[in-house]
A and B are shown apart, each in its own frame.
Chain A
Amino acid sequence: MTTLLSIRNVEKHFGRVRAVNGVSLDIRENEFFALLGSSGSGKTTLLRMLAGFETLSAGQILLNGRDISNVAPNHRPVNLMFQSYALFPHMSVAQNIAYGLEMEKLPRAEIRARVDEILSTIQLSALAARKPEQLSGGQRQRVALARALVKRPQLLLLDEPLGALDKKLRSEMQLELKRIQHQFGITFVIVTHDQEEALVMADRIAILQHGELVQCAPPREVYEHPATRFAAEFIGVMNFIPVQRDGAKLTAADGSAIHAAIPEGLGADIVAAVRPERLRLDAENCDNRLSGRILATAYHGLDLQVHVAIPAMAKPMVCRVTADAAEARDFKADDILTLGWNSADTRLFAA
């Protein structure tokens, strides 16, 4: 696939604060790309730079090889779906959607045809004459999406597009957005702080922290092979086990040996990490084992999460037990439980 958007060493300084600090990314054609980070990570600033609402302090943004760093927002073949949706309150749904096409000075008949077409795509034809105030949150969201999509941009930017929706609608819209992206064949760049949203929707995820790029990879790789301890902690749940290194030997705080492939460049202070769903109850078949007392259990319907306090470790380990396994065995507080996992599922980071 060819590169559509090239972000090269982009920086944004607000006074002394570096909101975006030397970020480089290549986004491909037809890709669903997620910028993931907590608030203050610079993800929204980066998105606004792509839309043209923030100037660059340094670096370049290339679209199809053309430098668009200094192109005004109204002259970029890029559209942004705002977090607040920013619908025009004095215009009807149809007028809102037609606005961008009127700016292109298209013939009236074509504007009409394209507005009708997109209204039926988002299933809002019946509400074309309504004002935004007369719509529900989910409908407004779809109008905002249609207003940006109808322009057929090369790149569609979405700022927390599902942030204002309730949980159920949100998971429906995650799949809907993916479907629309596929149908229109437009590159989507989405900003989100919701790691689950990013995992579900994106082809690739860029994790940002303090304005810097931490990792850029497909969801599975980000989840299974986080680049840093921050990335490991930010995505999903992770158990961290502080270990002491002695050559190739790793020892946990309670004296248990930990087996894992040690990457190059790690020093003596290491933290081992393992996902809750990789912890197994048949510990005798695993090469890593830790025993402790059950602190508490948390029932999630889909699974049972068992919290186990390991001696000499500050934080308890979280083990995910599937529903059927949870039924087969009774997990009582204060019982001793041995958790096992394989060296292949162990990740190591600098402490």
Chain B
Amino acid sequence: MLQRRITERCRIVMQDRKSLVLVAPAFAWLTAFMVVPCLLILALAFFRRGIYGGIEYDITFENFAMVLDPLYARIFLKSAWIAGLAALIAAVLGYAAAYAIASMPRHRQPALLFFAILPFWSNYLVRTYAWIVLLNREGLIVGIARALGFSGEMPQMLYTEGAVVLGLVYNYLPFVILAAYAPLSRLNPEISEASRDLGAGRWTTFRRVILPITLPGVATGFVFVFVLSIGNFVTPALLGGGQFQMIGNLVYDQFLSANDWPFGSALSMVLIAVMLVLLTAQTFANERASTGRQSAEPADG
């Protein structure tokens, strides 16, 4: 037993050495272009803004204190609300789409998946501008409504919170579809048949068997959409209009118009911290779900 443990250990160490060589280039790249810039930004957050937009190098925490200012905290909360709403809608729609694709005949699934992901390969800006064309006061949707005989006052669609959520959902939906499709397509069809055989109807089978087994995939998709949405500044700027601000726009403004790099840095750091906490929690949850199954030694029977 002990002998086996030791040889197992040795094997892992050898594997580690081999994988270290393989992982080194990516690691170097990440360090140079990701970790170092992040550290620079982090350092910047502790300095003071000069009167003319420069930086004064004396240590201070007031940038972080300013983040808690109700004015900015509200923008944080609003961003979280919008990102959460977008992630929730994307998770529901994406799961439904993935479910539909996974229940098609096997040989058709790759093509369907390809079409579901297809918009993703076009430019983000183009996709977002397309929504301006659609949601515009004289846009396509209004045009169609008019053509169908609707003559009343059309509600404002573009430059609303709804338009921002719509844009985020549209852009990030493929993530959820991919994340949810993986566990759904791996699911042994005999599992849902077993549920039916034991007396469950289709809905109960879905609620008690299929959904719980495939939920980790949806959760991954949800966190992805949330993290990508909360820091997004293009969609709120284009579909939310000039007055609409999310945390990404605030950061953008600090760096490019207000010239307050230290405050912008503090804002980004808090944002990155929020993202990291979420992604780490998600990773841990996934890990626990999978190792809980594998690590326990199967007893012989």
Bitwise, A209-235 to B at CB < 8 A (1) or not (0) is: 000000000000000000000000000
Contact call B296/A86, Cβ cutoff below 8 A: no
Contact call B293/A89, Cβ cutoff below 8 A: yes
Contact call A136/B198, Cβ cutoff below 8 A: no
Task: Tell me which residues from 126 to 142 in chain A have a Cβ below 8 Å from any Cβ of chain B.
Answer: 127, 130-131, 133-136, 138-139, 142
Residue on A with the closest CB to B205? A74
Bitwise, A61-85 to B at CB < 8 A (1) or not (0) is: 0000000000011110001101110
Chain A residue contacts of B208, Cβ below 8 A: 99
Task: Tell me which residues from 194 to 218 in chain B have a Cβ below 8 Å from any Cβ of chain A.
Answer: 194-201, 204, 208-209, 212-213
Chain A residue contacts of B197, Cβ below 8 A: 51-53, 73-74, 79-80, 148
Contact call B300/A103, Cβ cutoff below 8 A: no
Contact call A134/B293, Cβ cutoff below 8 A: yes
Contact call B193/A74, Cβ cutoff below 8 A: no
Given A84-B188, A138-B301, is A73 in contact with B293 using a C-beta cutoff of 8 Å?
no
Tell me if A12 is interfacial: C-beta within 8 Å of chain B. Answer: no
Say which residue of B188, B201, B294, B300 sits within 8 Å of A86 (CB atoms): B188
Complex CA gap A107/B181 in Å reads 37
Given A134-B298, A135-B301, A139-B299, is A86 in contact with B199 using a C-beta cutoff of 8 Å?
no
Say which residue of A73, A90, A103 sits within 8 Å of B193 (CB atoms): A73
Tell me if A289 is interfacial: C-beta within 8 Å of chain B. Answer: no
Bitwise, B35-76 to A at CB < 8 A (1) or not (0) is: 000000000000000000000000000000000000000000
Complex CA gap A203/B164 in Å reads 69
The residue in B191, B213, B293, B301 that gathers the most chain A C-beta atoms within 10 A of its C-beta is B301
User: Does more than half of chain B's interface fall in helix, strand or loop, or is it mixed?
Assistant: helix
The residue in B194, B196, B300 that gathers the most chain A C-beta atoms within 10 A of its C-beta is B194
* Number of B interface residues in the complex (CB < 8 A): 26
Shortest distance from the beta carbon of A152 to any chain B beta carbon, whole Å: 12
Shortest distance from the beta carbon of A168 to any chain B beta carbon, whole Å: 13
Contact call B293/A133, Cβ cutoff below 8 A: yes
Contact call B301/A82, Cβ cutoff below 8 A: no
Complex CA gap A89/B214 in Å reads 11
Additional 8 contacts, C-beta under 8 A, given A74-B201, A134-B296:
A52-B196, A53-B193, A53-B196, A73-B196, A80-B193, A82-B190, A100-B198, A130-B296
